[in-house]
Amino acid sequence: MEFKDKLIQRLKEDPDVFNEIRSEIIASDFNREKKEKIGFIDKPEESNFLEERSDEKLIEAIAANLEYFIEYSKENEERWV
């Protein structure tokens, strides 16, 4: 199994993670031809959304979500110290 396939399989294990990555790709893709619904997908295993995206888009979406998480964690840490 290729790295991208393994990564996508792992992202699909948690609907929240899957939808965060998916919404990041949709939000950053202003020139898309097809309109994608941003609504929550309960069964990510039934979606081919991530498989249809380029490696670059997938990487950028994951990196952006990690940056948001790190920033959020730092802000919460500062509040509770």
Q: What is the pLDDT of residues 14-23, one digit of tens each?
A: 999 999 999 9
User: 71 vs 16, 22, 68, 78, 79, CA distance in Å?
Assistant: 18, 20, 5, 11, 13
Q: Is residue 9 part of a domain?
A: yes
For residue 54, the enclosing domain spans 3-30+40-80
Q: Is residue 64 part of a domain?
A: yes
Q: Is residue 65 part of a domain?
A: yes
| Residues 6 or more apart in contact with residue 23 via CB below 8 angstroms | 38
Q: Is residue 35 part of a domain?
A: no
Rounded to whole angstroms, the Cα distance separating 71 from 53 reads 26
Total of domains in the chain = 1
pTM of the model: 0.72
72 three-state secondary structure: helix
Q: Is residue 24 part of a domain?
A: yes
pLDDT in tens, 31-72: 555 555 678 999 999 999 999 999 999 999 999 999 999 999
